[in-house]
Structure 1
């Protein structure tokens, strides 16, 4: 199943509700599930303790925050031993502009998602920060023209 401890259909329903709106109160969730608040509260606490719920976040509007440019950056390293990979991962975590980073199998080593104010800002970021990371062999940038869909929800 999802976790070593038993997760039942009610737990899954709670997780689905919270994925859509983490601000829903225990009382609102209980009403949706036709339960009382107390067992729903206990289930949510159990799910948090099990780390099935890692944290609660606010999803911000990047356009209103003036960071409308989404860049997908593919990075290939020159050398692939453990020390070089660990060093790259440590350095990339220090760049606040990088929203997501994945170590990949295939032609590229790392997939980065970056949101910026403008192409000029991205150019400056690459020139003054990203390109200064040692061991980058190839860096390819792809600019999102239109976001078709974006979700933080898992299909459970």
Structure 2
């Protein structure tokens, strides 16, 4: 696929704002017919610009009242240990995001749990139980100030 043009970028902006927007709705806003919109979206999906479509759910309504960010330092840093840790973390349902980072720590985790007691259990029974954990530093979200999924594409 060639580079994104202004129309592609507008389509991406609209889909980021409303993933349920129909081709007809997008075409109406852009003053185009439905078929070219469909074809553009298909090409962006195939090229990997659009990774997935998902519903954003309310974590509070689902009972996940506590968000914690965990900085994790490993004892050993061989490729085997890094891959093992990443595989183990991927299986923990409380972890919604995991990043291999540079600096004092090796990984940054975003963890969603019901409350402080659930976090304590997660930390003691799951995270600290993994092989090769050296140090964990936790920070708790007091109030979200800015939260968005969209990227500036226009």
Q: TM-score, normalised by structure 2?
A: 0.97
| 2:117 is equivalent to residue 120 of structure 1 | yes
Residue in 2 aligned with 1:18?
A: 15
The Cα offsets for residues 86-142 of structure 1, whole Å up to 9 and x where unpaired, read as 110010001011000000011110000011100000101111111111111110110
* Unaligned runs of at least 5 residues, structure 1: none
Residues 1-156 of structure 1: pairs in structure 2 closer than 5 A = 5-156=2-153
Secondary structure of 1:90's counterpart equals helix
Q: TM-score, normalised by structure 1?
A: 0.95
Shift of the alpha carbon at 1:7? Answer: 1.5
Instruction: Count how many residue pairs are aligned between Structure 1 and Structure 2.
Output: 153
Shift of the alpha carbon at 1:5? Answer: 2.6
RMSD value, Cα: 0.9
* Unaligned runs of at least 5 residues, structure 2: none
